[in-house]
Amino acid sequence: MSQGSNEQPGDKEHDFQIFVNSRPRKVAGPKISFGEVLQLAGFDTNSQDLGLYDVEWVHGNRAGSLTPGQSVELENGMRFDAGKSNRS
């Protein structure tokens, strides 16, 4: 008999402890998007060109960047740096 759930074992949402611009944040997973990181960093991106912002992340030996529309799987302790781009 089915439980009515399509979730896979690794898909469950739970809180992750991350850091955004060095400030601790607790967020629900399993992923976080470019826009969500900017909101956590305190940027009001309504009617803004998201291309004007940069989001970079690091966790252990892994690192990357996010662009508008992208997201990344969360892991406890991830660090995100978000800010306005210095590109013109």
- Give me the CATH number covering residue 47: 3.10.20
Say how far apart CA 38 and CA 60 lie, in whole Å: 22
| 50-64 confidence digits (pLDDT tens) | 889 999 999 999 999
Give the pLDDT band (50/70/90) at residue 14.
Answer: confident
Does the pLDDT value for residue 76 go beyond 80?
yes
Residue 9, in any domain of the structure? no
Q: Residue 48: its pLDDT value, please?
A: 82
Q: Which domain holds residue 36?
A: 14-84
6 assigned to some structural domain: no
- What is the total count of domains within the chain? 1
In this structure, are strands 15-20 and 23-28 parallel, antiparallel, or unpaired?
antiparallel
pLDDT band with cut points at 50, 70 and 90 for residue 7: very low
Across 71-77, average pLDDT:
97
In this structure, is residue 64 part of a structural domain?
yes
**Does residue 3 fall inside a structural domain?**
no
HEC string of the chain equals CCCCCCCCHHHCCCEEEEEECCEEEEEECCEEEHHHHHHHCCCCCCCCCHHHEEEEEEECCEEEEECCCCEEECCCCCEEEEEECCCC
